[in-house]
Amino acid sequence: MANKVFWQGIALMTGCIIGGGVLALPFAVAQSGFWSAILLIVVLGLIMLFINLRIGDVSVAMKKPHQLVGLVERFLGKQGKILMTFAMLLLSYGALIAYAIGCGRILSVMGGSELMWRIGFYIVGAFIVVKGIQVISGSELFLETIKLAIVGIIVILGMNNSVTLKSFSGFTFNGVGMVFGIALFAYLGFVSVPAVYELKPKLKEFKKIIIIGSIIPIFVYLLFIATVIARTGSATTEVATIGLQQVFSPVMGILINIFALLALATSFLAVSYALYDMFIRDFLLSKTKSFLLAFVPSLIGMFFLESFAKTIDIAGAIAGSMMAILMIFAHRVACKQFKKIVKIPLFVDVIITVVFVAGAVFAIV
């Protein structure tokens, strides 16, 4: 049973982190220097691992799981709750719009307008969340195994003999804002830490789950980015798999699209359900009002936003930075109330905060 909880926890974390954002990362890297972008992605991934561990420490000290909004309210008060709620709404709405754009772009290859597929995908996703989410609940391990297996196949077949170090070049600060925003979006999985704690793993296993569950996405992203850049180069598309399928066989192209749709669809369901559930549980609204607040704003936004990558970039940079900084502040306050929590030197948090603020500014500008 303990072993099962361990692997379920890792699957839950990686499933929450590895989503639609991975499909935009190669495009962001293609707009910047490869090595500078990779360095930023690795550093940001390690920072997010650091924050995930701190959220885990707070969860253990409190001896019961708290969702992010409740955790921030507990240590930063109502103002912290308002800021975290705003950040989560911005991130969630931006994510739902981006996922619908991505799916519409992929499915439109079969015929029909992109907007038609966006709306169709959105309606089906909303219906599943409200009526049939139980159908896919508890299947994180199975779905993550499929996604990682397909990524492995893509990397193995993509990294052929023609790929050399010359395929990767460039170290520049140009485009780092987009890399930061999209990478931060792709790493955001704070909500998975309290969820893993609810599985009641042993304390030593809990820390291992957080570390492994945070490191796996880093390696998956690096391998996927390298494969796409090596095969499509400057022609890398916003939704990376659209350009990637053109350099593979038709059968492989289908497999690539399955991975993309799976990544987008599972992310859409996870984000939309969390949003819908938040309005019901935290704001005590009726199911009808919760449904309207969870789905209508993004549905409207789809008619005004067209860029998959830019939508993820802005949502990740602004909302992601706000969430990360709030979690850092909450952890510092928690350290004063719980002796078990490891204290972090102030200068470390100042540096990390500056990184997030600067990254958000670069992404917006």
| Environment class of 308 (CB within 10 Å of its CB; exposed 0-12, middle 13-18, buried 19+) | buried
Residue 13 has pLDDT above 90, yes or no: no
DSSP letter assigned to residue 198? T
2-364: CATH architecture: Up-down Bundle (1.20)
What are the structure tokens assigned to 86, written together?
């705003």
Residue 224 has pLDDT above 90, yes or no: yes
- Confirm if 93 and 298 have CB atoms less than 8 A apart: yes
Share above pLDDT 90 across residues of the chain, in percent, rounded to a whole number: 46
Q: What is the pLDDT of residue 252?
A: 85
- Specify the higher pLDDT residue, 36 or 2: 36
Give the pLDDT band (50/70/90) at residue 203: confident
Helix (H) or strand (E) holding 231: helix 203-232
**pTM for this predicted structure:** 0.91
Say how far residue 49 (Cα) sits from the centre of its chain: 13
What residue ranges do the domains of the chain occupy? Answer: 2-364
Give the pLDDT band (50/70/90) at residue 258: confident
Q: What is the mean pLDDT of residues 78-85?
A: 92
DSSP string covering 120-185 = HHHHHHHHHHHH-GGGTTT-HHHHHHHHHHHHHHHHHHHS-TT--GGGS----STTHHHHHHHHHH
- Specify the higher pLDDT residue, 30 or 340: 30
Compute the CA torsion angle 122, 124, 129, 131 (nearest 10 deg): 150
Q: Give the Å distances, CA to CA, from 33 to 39, 47, 98, 137, 171.
A: 10, 21, 24, 40, 5
What are the structure tokens assigned to 241, written together?
């798999």
For residues 8 and 283, give the distance between their C-alpha atoms in angstroms, rounded to a whole number: 29
Q: What is the pLDDT of residue 117?
A: 93
Q: What is the mean pLDDT of residues 299-314?
A: 92
| Helix, strand, coil percent content, the chain, rounded in steps of 5 | 80, 0, 20
Give the pLDDT band (50/70/90) at residue 1: very low
For residues 314 and 90, give the distance between their C-alpha atoms in angstroms, rounded to a whole number: 9
